[in-house]
Structure 1
Amino acid sequence: MTVEDRERLETERLRTVQQLASLSRDFDAVVEASKDSNADDEHDPDGATVAFERSQVDSLLQQARRHLDEIDDAQSRLDEGSYGVCESCGRPIAAARLEARPVARTCIECASARR
């Protein structure tokens, strides 16, 4: 593919790594804050909120880690020469789709058919 594709993936990877760092700090802050709170979530009105926040941040962390894996896979496909080729039908993935979703594995038609 093109230099722009590689740069787009590298930019997306950097953004995701920064997001992971920020979310990790947020998660650590929530955990630290919960150490000072009442451990009885059932009777502590703030306990449920802390547990919810911890769960939310953890979900976002997991999502960012999966996205980082997708970026790494896309970079591998780029190195192999299969980036931008639909894994379902073998046709090229439109440049606009790759610009909007650099980790796309399928063309719009195949992605729409899966739904």
Structure 2
Amino acid sequence: MLREDMVDDEGLATAELDELAALLQDRRAKDLGEAEHLAESLGVVLSARGESADDEHDPEGPTLSYEWSRLQALRGETADDIVAVDAALARIEEGTYGRCMRCDRMIGVERLRARPTAELCIACAMTVDG
């Protein structure tokens, strides 16, 4: 039996909710900082691409096209994380944070500490992932 099954159905204590909200706010601030850094890096690459006629044959390292693609992918991941954090913060405001969106059982504070944006309990997440 999963430890998750032993979590009571009463919800998170106020102190736990405050702790998790602070984790989410901190993560959001870091994501915003990373997004700003990535935007600056993309500007540098864009400028360099405009100056270079043939970056595909540069023996000095990764091509500018590769770097652009890499930074765009990181930017997308950061944007997705901001959306997930904002959704978790909205669930806190609505009073639904910590409840599985599939089965409506409590997710468990330890899982939320590890993955504060979790929307599913471990049992439901295992059926989705596995």
Number of residue pairs aligned between Structure 1 and Structure 2: 112
Please give the per-residue CA displacement for 1:36-85, whole angstroms capped at 9, x wherever unaligned: 101x56xx403x71101101100110111111011111110000000010
TM-score (norm 1): 0.90
Any stretches of 5+ residues in structure 2 without a counterpart?
1-11
Aligned to 1:90, what secondary structure does the other structure show? Answer: coil
Q: Which residue of 1 aligns with 2:27?
A: 12
TM-score (norm 2): 0.80
Identical-pair percentage: 32
Write out aligned runs for 1:55-94 (5 A): 55-94=69-108
Q: Which residue of 1 aligns with 2:37?
A: 22
| Structure number with higher relative contact order (C-alpha < 8 Å, ≥ 6 residues apart) | 2
Give the distance between the partners of 2:93 and 2:81, measured in 1 at CA: 18
Larger radius of gyration: 2
Any stretches of 5+ residues in structure 1 without a counterpart?
none
Say what the alpha-carbon RMSD is for the aligned residues: 1.6
